[in-house]
Amino acid sequence: MNPFVEKIIPLILAFFVGILFKAVKLLSKDDAPVLLRLVLTITLPALTIIAISNVSLAADMALIPFMAITVVFLMFFISSGLRRKLNMPDPMFGSFLVGTMIMNTAYSLPFFAAAFGDEGLARATLFDIGNTFMIFTFTYYNAIKYGENSHTDKIDWSKFLRLPPLWAMLIAFGWKLGGVQLPRLALNTLNLIGQPTVPLVMIALGLYFEPKLNNLGKALLAVFIRMVVGLGIGIILATIFGFQGITRTVVIVNSALPIGFNTLIFANLENMDREFAATCVSISIFIALFYIPLLIYLFR
């Protein structure tokens, strides 16, 4: 069997474990945010420090977060241009717009770790930082704009600065640039803490999987823009900036990622169309289960 396929199959199986556990009621959809919060605050920061400690720094790595920011802005202009043609009520269009803007970068981390090890994980995490910055700033602003709530008119900019992976990355880069070697005990501890990241993310994806048939055509359009148009944008950006190797793969594949879970969070928080948001997220996650490994294989 192809070594790449051997690494990807366990990820797919972990996704279906999440679906199975939800079906037999060992876990529920409400447990998924808890698992992802555990990843965000504990396991991913540890894995990030390990990954950056083990890679050689390259000049093109500094551009990766800005590629994510560029993709989000382009998605905004493309989706906003379709507003009149789609003729959606504001809450539904808000979920549509935000969904196309949010890349599910947590989804890609297990696949890049499996395909490229620390080199891939470190670069994918850099892309995640740019995407996350946009989620809690410009994208959240649009959720407020199209939602039905009026309890808030400003963005909590400090959310981005409170992200543990960001601080883990800054600490790791500081150690790396300062030439400091982590003690063996610290490396072993961080490695132990970071190991559950991959299965926890994939199981959470399975728990979130909940497609519905309402407004299926419009949901599929949102998925097409996020994953197919996004792929085209990624290829163009990688070509313009002359990216090579793993950085090229990260920029192209991450630009085509499925719709992110924060679409559901913002839909609930700002009273946008929750059901439409859930349908978009679920459909894109299922497609990405096979689409993203294929893209990594083709562009690696």
CATH of the domain at 145: 1.20.1530.20
Q: What share of the chain is helix, strand, coil (3-state, %, to 5)?
A: 80, 0, 20
Domain of 268?
3-299
- Encode pLDDT of 164-216 as tens digits: 877 887 888 788 778 777 788 988 898 899 888 878 878 887 887 777 777 88
**Residue carrying structure tokens 């051997």:** 6
| Phi and psi, residue 157, nearest 5° | -65, -20
pLDDT of residue 156: 59
Q: What is this structure's pTM?
A: 0.78
Q: Which stretches of the chain drop beneath a pLDDT of 50?
A: 150-151
- Determine the 3-state secondary structure of 151 from DSSP: coil
- Encode pLDDT of 224-245 as tens digits: 999 999 999 999 999 999 999 9
Average pLDDT, the chain: 85
pLDDT of residue 77: 97
pLDDT of residue 17: 92
Nearest to 131 by CA among 4, 2, 234: 234
pLDDT of residue 150: 45
pLDDT of residue 250: 95
Q: Give the whole-number percent of the chain exceeding pLDDT 90.
A: 32
Cα distances (angstroms) measured from residue 98 to each of 71, 148, 192, 233: 13, 14, 35, 17
Domain count across the chain: 1
